[in-house]
Structure 1
Amino acid sequence: MTVWDRPEPPTRPVPLDRERIVAAAVALADEGGLEAVSLRKVAARLDAGPMRLYRYISTKEELFDLMVDEVQGEILPDEQPGDWREALRVLAHRTRQAALRHEWLADLLGGRPTLGPNGLAVTEARLSALDGLAGLDTVMRAVETVGAYTTGAIRREVANLRAERATGLSDRDWQRAHGSHVTKMLATGRFPALAKAVHDGTEVDAGTSFANGLDWVLDAVAAKLPQSPA
Structure 2
Amino acid sequence: MTVWDRPEPPTRPAPLDRERIVAAAVALADEGGLEAVSLRKVAARLDVGPMRLYGYISTKEELFDLMVDEVHAEIVPDEPPGDWREALRDRAHRTRQAALRHEWLADLLGGRPTLGPNALAASEAMLATFDGFADIDAVMRAVETVGAYVTGAIRHEVANLRAERATGLTMREWQRAHGPHLSKMLATGRYPALSRLVHDGSEVDAGTTFATNLEWVLDAVAAKLVPSSS
- Residue deviations 1:181-210 (CA, integer Å, cap 9, x gap): 100111111111110010010000000000
2:218 is the counterpart of 1:225 = no
Aligned to 1:47: 47
Determine the C-alpha separation between the residues in 2 that align with 1:133 and 1:193. Answer: 41
Identity, % of aligned positions: 83
State whether structure 2 residue 105 is matched by structure 1 residue 105.
yes
Indicate the residue corresponding to 1:21 in structure 2.
21
In 2, are the aligned partners of 1:131 and 1:139 still within 8 Å (CA)? no
Cα distance per residue 1:95-134 (max 9 Å; x no partner) = 0000000000000000001111111122222322223235
What amino acid maps onto 1:24 in structure 2? A
CA-to-aligned-CA distance 1:39-70 (integer Å, 9 cap, x gap): 00000110111000001000000000000000
User: Which residue identity lines up with residue 65 of structure 1 in the other structure?
Assistant: D
Corresponding residue of 2:149: 149
2:81–2:125 Cα contact (<8 Å) kept: no
Tell me, in whole angstroms, the C-alpha distance in 2 between the residues paired with 1:228 and 1:122: 24
Q: How far apart, in 2, do the equivalents of 1:28 and 1:57 lie?
A: 17
Q: Which amino acid aligns with 2:56?
A: Y
Q: Deviation string for 1:3-31 (max 9, x for gaps)?
A: 00000002212100000000000000000
Q: Is the 8 A contact 1:222 1:228 kept in 2?
A: no
Q: Secondary structure of 1:178's match?
A: helix
Q: How many residues align?
A: 229
**1:25 alignment partner AA:** A
8 Å contact from structure 2 (residues 77, 125) kept in 1: no
Unaligned runs of 5+ in 1: none
Q: Alignment RMSD, CA only?
A: 1.2
- Structure 2 partner of 1:84: 84
Q: Secondary structure at the match of 1:104?
A: helix
Contact in 1 for aligned 2:22/2:67 (Cα 8 Å): yes
Contact 1:88-1:129 within 8 A present in 2 as well: no
User: Which residue pairs with 2:170 in the alignment?
Assistant: 170
- Per the alignment, residue 74 of structure 1 pairs with 74
Separation in 2 of the partners of 1:180 and 1:126? 48
Structure 2 residues without counterparts, runs of 5 or longer: none
Question: What is the CA distance between 1:179 and its match in structure 2?
Answer: 0.5
Amino acid in structure 1 at the alignment position of 2:14: V
Distance 1:134 1:170 in 2: 48
CA shift at 1:228, angstroms? 9.0
Q: Is the 8 A contact 2:132 2:228 kept in 1?
A: no
> In structure 2, the residue corresponding to 1:226 is in which secondary structure?
coil
Tell me how far apart the structure 1 counterparts of residues 154 and 59 of structure 2 sit (CA, whole Å): 27
